[in-house]
Structure 1
Amino acid sequence: MDLNKCEFDVIATELGMVNLEIKHMLKNLNKLTRRKRVRNNLLNFPAKSYVYQEPYGVALIMSPWNYPLQLSLVPLIGAVAAGNTVVLKPSDYSHNVAKAIKKVLSVFDDKYISVVLGGREQNAELLDNKFDFIFFTGGETVGRLVMEKASKYLTPVLLELGGKSPCIVDKDADINLAAKRIVWGKFLNCGQTCVAPDYVYAHKDIKPALIEKFKFYIQKFYYKNGVLNEDFANIINDKHAERLKGLIDKDKVVFGGKQTGRRIEPVILDNVTFSDAVMCEEIFGPILPVLEFEDIETVVSKLNGLEKPLAFYYFSENKKNAEKIINSLSFGGGCVNDCIMHLTNSKLPFGGIGKSGMGSYHGKKSFEAFSHAKSIFVKGKLELNVKYPPYTKGKLRIVKLITRTKKQKTKD
C-alpha cells in the first residue's frame, strides 16, 4: 500500500485510535449535546442562563497522508457528533487509503458525508467554496493558504500543522528507558509522524552512552540478522525520499543511512549544530540528529528563540526540573519520560500553538471544536430596576456593590 505499514501499526496507530474515539463519543454524546445551565451573578437575579452547543453547519476536513485513516476519521467523528455535515478530502499522496475511505463512507448519503478524491486541483476548488468550518492537518505552507482562502468568508479554521519537536535528555535521565522510548517514537511510521521527536538535545555527560543505546534499540526493533525488517514503513513517495537524502550529512552519520528507493534505514547523526541542513526544516523521516548541551538554562533560552513546536519531550528523574522546564517553554503538548503517548489519552486536547497550529481536538475537545457554544439568558418578570434611568445616588451605590467597584481616588 502507500506506506507499507505492518498490521500492528495499522491497528495501533490508525484503526485503534478511530475505534477509541467512536467509543468515547458514543459514551459521552448525550452529555456533550445536552444544554448546560450555568450560574448567574447577582446583577441578573432572578434569571436562568444556559449554554447550547450547535453545529457550525458544513465542515471541510482536509487530511494528510502520514496517518491517512486516523487523521481523516477522528476529526470526522467529532464533526458528525457535533451535528455537522462534512466534506472530507483525503490526501492524494496516500491514494489507495483515500479510495478505501471513500468506499467505506459511501454507506452515508452524500448530503451528510461526501468524500472528494484528487490532488491540488481539487484542493484549490474546494477552498474556493464557502464552508462554515475548516479543519486542516498538514504543513505550514498549505496551512497559510487555507487561512487565506478561509478569510474571504471569515470561516473559522482549526489548523494541525507541525514543526521541529525537540527532545531533551538530561544527565539524570534513565538512559536505557529514554533511548528505548525515543527510538520507538522517532522511527514509528519511518519518522513520518507530526509529533515525532525531531531531534535530541542530550547532556554532554550522557550523550555517548545514549547514542550507543539508540543503536542497540534500533537494531533490536527494526533489524533481523543485520537486515531491515520488511514491516518497517516506507517514505510516502520519491520526492520526499530525495528530500530526506539531502538532509543526511555523511560526515556526521554514526549509524545507518542506507537508502533503496523509498526505503530509508534509520539514521543517527552526531555533532549536529543548528546551522546544519537537517536542523533548518521539519525532518519528517527516519533521521535522528543529536545535539549536546552542558547547561539546561542555555537550552531553554535557545528553544524560546525558536518557533513554538507541536510537541516537546523531556527525560529526567528530577520532577522539579521537569516542572520548571514545562513552565518555561511554549508548545502544543508533550511528555515527561515518554514520546507521543499524550495523543492516546482522549481527555488530553491535541493541537499546536503559533506556527505549529491553532485549536485542538480529541475526545470532548473534538466535539467542542466542531460546535458553537450558544449563550441563552432567560429572564422572568421580576427584576431589580437599578439598570433603568434616572440614575440616582442610591442606584449607583447598588451597582458599585454588585460589581465590586471601589471609589476611584483622584489626585489634586
Structure 2
Amino acid sequence: MTDTKAAFTLDDTFTSAEATALVDRLRSAFRTGRTKPLAWRRRQLTRLRDLLTDNRAAIADALYADLRKNRAEADAMEIETTIAEIDDYLEHLEEWTAPQPAPVTVPGVPGSTARTVLDPLGVALVIAAWNYPVNLLLVPVAGALAAGNAVVIKPADYAAHTSALLAELLPAYLDTDATAVVEGGAPETTVLLEQHFDHIFYTGNGTVGRIVMTAAVKNLTPVVLELGGKSPVFVDRDADIATVAQRLAQTKFANAGQTCVAPDYVLTDPDTAAEL
C-alpha cells in the first residue's frame, strides 16, 4: 500500500485535478502489471469477502440508518447475495480467464493455431445506486477486480451511512495502489466522469444514465448501464390467484418496494382483477 489518499470522503474537496491525479495513479499501478496475476485477483476477492463477514453487524446498522432495512433483509439481500457472487468468481476465476481456442481464418498456413486471450481493460469506474447500496456497489467491484482491473469506487450518496462505512472499510481491505473510494453526489460524479476510464458501470436511473453515456462517448469508453424502469405484471384468468397475490406482495414489500423489478401495476381482466 502507498501513503497516497485512498478515499475521498464528504469532508474532502474533490477537484478535477485531484480526480485526474487519482486516475493517473491507478493507471500507473495497472500498467506495472500489478493487477493481472490471478493470485492478486483472488487476494482482492477474498479480502472483499472478509470485509463483508468481518463487518456484518456494522453494515446492517448502516443499512438500517439509511433505509430502515431490517437485519434479516440486510443480511439476505445485501450481504449474503454479494458473498455468493464473490464465491462464484473465486470458484470459476481460472476457468473464466483461461485462453480459449479460436479458429484460424488465414488459409495456407499449415499447422497454425489461434486462441482468444482475455486481458484486463485498465481502470474501471463503478457508480452505485442507493436502494441496494452494498450489493449494487460491491458486486460490480468484485467483477472488475476478478477481471484484473484497477477500480475507482463511487458509493451511493443517498445512503450516506453506508457510503461512509464503505469509504472507511474498503481501503483497509483492498490494495490501495489499485483501488480508491470517492464519496459524494452529483458534483463528485461529474468530476469523475470528466476522466478517461476504460470501463464504467453505472446503476441507477435513465436520466443520469444518459449523462454517464454522454461522458463515456468522448473517450469511446465501454459502459454498462443497469437502469430501473417500469415492471408491469400480467395475470392470466386461469392463474392460481392466491399464489400470484402472495408473490406480488412478497416482491413489492421487499426492500420497501425499491427494487428495479418490483411490480408497478397489474394487467388482467375485470373478473380476475376483482378476485386478485
Query: Which TM-score band (shorter chain)?
Result: 0.7 to 0.9
Q: Distance in 2 between matches of 1:45 and 1:201?
A: 62
Query: Tell me, what secondary structure is at the counterpart of 2:124?
Result: strand
Equivalent position to 2:130, from 55, 65, 80: 65
Equivalent position to 1:105, from 163, 167, 170: 170
**Residue identity matched to 1:204:** P
Q: Residue 124 of structure 1 aligns with which residue?
A: 190
**Mapping for residues 2-401 of structure 1, pairs under 5 Å:** 2-40=66-104, 43=107, 45-107=110-172, 108-210=174-276
1:73-96 C-alpha deviation (Å, 9 max, x unpaired)? 000110000000000101110010
Q: Distance in 2 between matches of 1:42 and 1:109?
A: 43
Query: Tell me, what secondary structure is at the counterpart of 1:106?
Result: helix
Query: Tell me, what secondary structure is at the counterpart of 1:61?
Result: strand
Q: Distance in 1 between matches of 2:93 and 2:175?
A: 22
Cα offset, 1:151, TM superposition: 1.0
After TM superposition, the structure 1 stretch with the greater mean CA deviation from structure 2, 28-37 or 42-51, is: 42-51
After TM superposition, the structure 1 stretch with the greater mean CA deviation from structure 2, 39-48 or 104-113, is: 39-48
Task: Point out the structure with the larger strand share.
Answer: 1
Query: Tell me, what secondary structure is at the counterpart of 1:159?
Result: strand
Larger radius of gyration: 1
Cα offset, 1:41, TM superposition: 5.6
Cα offset, 1:184, TM superposition: 0.8
Query: Tell me, what secondary structure is at the counterpart of 2:268?
Result: strand
Q: Distance in 1 between matches of 2:83 and 2:101?
A: 31
Q: Distance in 1 between matches of 2:248 and 2:104?
A: 49
TM-score, normalised by the number of residues in structure 2: 0.73
TM-score, normalised by the number of residues in structure 1: 0.50
Task: Point out the structure with the larger helix share.
Answer: 2
Query: Tell me, what secondary structure is at the counterpart of 1:163?
Result: coil
Aligned pairs, number? 210
Q: Distance in 1 between matches of 2:164 and 2:175?
A: 17
1:244-292 C-alpha deviation (Å, 9 max, x unpaired)? xxxxxxxxxxxxxxxxxxxxxxxxxxxxxxxxxxxxxxxxxxxxxxxxx
Q: Distance in 2 between matches of 1:189 and 1:173?
A: 26
Q: Distance in 1 between matches of 2:135 and 2:252?
A: 18
Runs of 4+ aligned structure 1 residues displaced above 4 Å come to none
Query: Tell me, what secondary structure is at the counterpart of 1:99?
Result: helix
Cα offset, 1:208, TM superposition: 0.9
1:174-220 C-alpha deviation (Å, 9 max, x unpaired)? 1011110111111211111111112111222211111xxxxxxxxxx
- Taking only aligned residues, the RMSD between alpha carbons, in angstroms, comes to 1.4
Query: Tell me, what secondary structure is at the counterpart of 1:16?
Result: helix
Q: Distance in 2 between matches of 1:36 and 1:205?
A: 56
Q: Residue 368 of structure 1 aligns with which residue?
A: none
Q: Distance in 1 between matches of 2:269 and 2:253?
A: 22
Cα distance, 1:198–1:38 mapped onto 2, change above 3 Å: same
1:221-241 C-alpha deviation (Å, 9 max, x unpaired)? xxxxxxxxxxxxxxxxxxxxx
Q: Residue 13 of structure 2 aligns with which residue?
A: none
Query: Tell me, what secondary structure is at the counterpart of 1:26?
Result: helix
**Residue identity matched to 1:102:** A
Q: Which runs of 5+ in 1 are unaligned?
A: 211-412
Identity, % of aligned pairs?
44
